[in-house]
Amino acid sequence: MSRERGVTGAQTPWEVFIRPRRGLSHQHVGSVHGADADMAIANARDLYTRRGDPVSIWVVRSDGVRASSPGEKDPFFSNGADKPYRYPQVYVPLNEVHEVHEVHEANEAGDRDE
């Protein structure tokens, strides 16, 4: 398949993502070349894990990655501008919640006394 695109197997670029330790997400660290995914992982291991002891490595063909560009920021991420209810600043903390809770506790205490 890579030959159809004019790229030989040894020259196929792969993007490398490394998870440094449990609890963290994978982070993009760079690119390698390899004929297939196994060779790309081996190259990534040799190149990017000299220091540290990562939990896992992902490789993804570079032509399989699609990213938004800064020029697409407004149409891509502006969908929440007309929906202020999505932001916590529009909500006011309700003191009544505490009052209702106190009344409920007082009623329960009164029921127990009877």
Q: pLDDT digit string (tens) for 44-99? A: 999 998 877 889 999 999 999 988 888 777 767 666 667 777 777 766 666 666 67
Mean pLDDT of the chain: 79
pLDDT at 59: 97
Residues 6+ apart with CB under 8 A from 22: 55
pLDDT at 94: 66
User: Is the confidence at residue 38, as pLDDT, over 90?
Assistant: yes
Q: Domain 9-113 is classified in which CATH homologous superfamily?
A: Phenylacetic acid degradation B (3.10.20.520)
